[in-house]
Structure formats: structure tokens, C-alpha cells
Amino acid sequence: MNKTKYKIIFTLGNNDDEKSLMEGERGDVLILDEDGNYFDPVFMTLARIEGDFWKERVCYLQDKMVILHSVTKENILKSIPEIHNWLFKKRWFPLEDEIIEKYYMPMADWVFFDVEIS
């Protein structure tokens, strides 16, 4: 059986989870697949969505949203197999190089974690 390998990249580093736990959101994470494509999910909690979804809004929309109980490095890494099984590569478009350069550079700050899926 082939294993699929991803690199999960925290583009702003990963000193601790304090900020993402307080904000209930983390949008600086990239998923790098085996073909060299980068994807940019946004990890959020339901509490964060509730805070942004006031009565006057008819709906709440967010591209590439992944809802977690709490936004921590551990939960993000644990969510990758589910994101993979959900076939995210058929639903999300990979990032263009210009977007990566504009919003996620410099690479010197990036912290990588490997995730293998059987």
C-alpha cells in the first residue's frame, strides 16, 4: 500500500499555540503535497465563527476552512488525514507562486512537519 506524504508548514514559525488558541484561528499554515503543490487551509473554531457571524449576516463563508475544537499545532497535524480523506485536492486549488511569495515569504521563518498517511 502506498503512503501519501505531506509537509505541513507553519509559515510564521511555531513557538507556541498561545496566539492561535486566543484567536481561535490560524491562517499561516500551508500543506505541501508530493507534487510540489501548496494549499492554504484556514483552521478555525466554532467560537471564532460565532464571533464573526452576527445576526445581520445571512451566511458565513470562508474558503478552505477547517473547523477544529481548538487551534493547536497538534490538532492541525492530526486533522491532515481527515483533510486528505475528504479529497481536498479535488476541492481546493493549489496556490500560485506569486501568492506564496507575496503572503508567505520569507521561507527562513517556515517550520516543517511531515505527515504520512497510509
Residue-wise pLDDT for 24-52, tens only, equals 999 999 999 999 999 999 999 998 888 77
pLDDT at 81 (0 to 100): 98
How far CA 60 is from CA of 23, 46, 88, in Å, comes to 17, 11, 20
Rounded to two decimals, what is the model's pTM?
A: 0.91
By three-state DSSP, how is residue 42 classified?
strand
Alpha-carbon span 110 to 32, nearest angstrom: 12
Q: Is the pLDDT of residue 53 over 90?
A: no
Alpha-carbon span 116 to 97, nearest angstrom: 25
Name the least confident of 22-31, 51-60, 98-107. 51-60
Q: Please answer whether residues 11 and 104 qualify as being in contact, where contact means their C-beta atoms are separated by less than 8 angstroms.
A: yes
Q: Is the pLDDT of residue 1 over 80?
A: no
